[in-house]
Amino acid sequence: MSDAEQFEPPAKKSRVDAAEVVDRAWETLQYEREQAKQSEVLTADKACQQIVQGIAEGKISSPKPSETPKIVEDARTNAIEIMQNYIRDSIEGKNRYGTHSKFPILGMSGMKGIGKTTMLEYGLTKVLPNMKMSAKGAYLTFNGGAGRSANVFWESQNQQDTVLRSVGHVLMANLKVEAQQYSLLGFEQCLNLFRKALGMSEEESLVLFIDEIGELKQKADDVLRALMTEADDRGGKLVFVFAHISQQFLDHAATGSGRKVISLPLEALPIDTWNQKKDWKEAAREHAGNRLVMEQFIVQHKKGH
């Protein structure tokens, strides 16, 4: 003890000691609160509340769609029309058929690099907005992507979840929601939260453009059937546009589920079209992805001659 402390007035020393006691008590209280917070069991309801709060604060939001090159507008007029009609008829419930009033499947097929992803992104960024319907959309791929969709799906499957619940987890992962939160949620909860992140009202329809569903391998059939059953049950409030490399897969899935398939095959374009379109050349020069597609178009055309 220093000389100053030895001769410190008793009253002042008491005040200092009391302050130290208060500080220690406050630190202890804060520590106990933090420990209680960490040990608190996270439930599905609490996870939903946290996600809703994250959406409200702007920390959780739907991924922004990429811009689609305009080269597709001239190249895929028929495909665009088929997509427009399918989305409109599905939202309005005009294309349901049979005793069980099922919706048909819209399936897009074609070789790698033919432009399936471009068509889906075009559907999201151009077709759907231009239709002026009460609907919003989102793009989802099972081949890589920001949400690591295929990995998230299989991680969920490893927990013995249903394929529908696993797709719900994929939706949440694409919003960058934490796995410890979405792993507690079912498909219905995930879908409602996804709609909220898109800023949707109850009256609006959600159109999901799902790419590379074949990456789910042996579960792809089950996923397609489960999602289309959800579409049936929601009567136009949930619409799907699928892309897969194989038309045979889409036909098989349709046969197994008793549904019609509206085919949207993408074929290689004539080389003359590529040579005659100045804006196509510019788009291919500016975007590596477009250039790859064009090169594959050329190869396929030459093979046919």
> What is the fold, at CATH topology level, of the domain defined by 71-267?
Rossmann fold (3.40.50)
Q: What is the DSSP string of 14-36?
A: HHHHHHHHHHHHHHHHHHHHHHH
Extract the tokens encoding 290. Answer: 């477009």
Q: What is the mean pLDDT of residues 214-228?
A: 90
pLDDT above 90 for 129: yes
Q: Which residue is associated with the tokens 């500080």? A: 23
pLDDT of residue 255: 66
Average pLDDT of every residue of the chain:
81
Q: How far is CA 243 from CA 42, 84, 89, 303, in A?
A: 37, 15, 19, 25
What proportions of the chain, in percent to the nearest 5, are helix, strand and coil?
A: 60, 10, 30
pLDDT of residue 178: 95
Position 141, amino acid: T
Q: 286: pLDDT confidence band, cut at 50, 70 and 90? A: low
Position 21, amino acid: V
Q: What is the mean pLDDT of residues 273-282?
A: 55
- Which class for 24: exposed (0-12), middle (13-18), buried (19 or more C-beta within 10 A)? exposed
Q: 99: pLDDT confidence band, cut at 50, 70 and 90? A: confident
248: three-class secondary structure by DSSP: helix
What are the DSSP E strand ranges found in the chain? Answer: 105-109, 135-141, 205-211, 238-243, 261-265
Answer whether 136's CB lies under 8 Å from 207's CB: yes
Considering only residues 109 and 74, tell me which one the structure prediction assigns the higher pLDDT. 109
Q: 291: pLDDT confidence band, cut at 50, 70 and 90? A: very low
Q: Which residue is associated with the tokens 């002042």? A: 12
Q: How far is CA 253 from CA 92, 95, 216, 233, 279, in A?
A: 24, 18, 13, 19, 38
Q: What percentage of the chain exceeds 90 in pLDDT?
A: 47
pLDDT above 90 for 97: no
pLDDT of residue 20: 74
- Tell me the domain boundaries of the chain: 71-267, 269-305
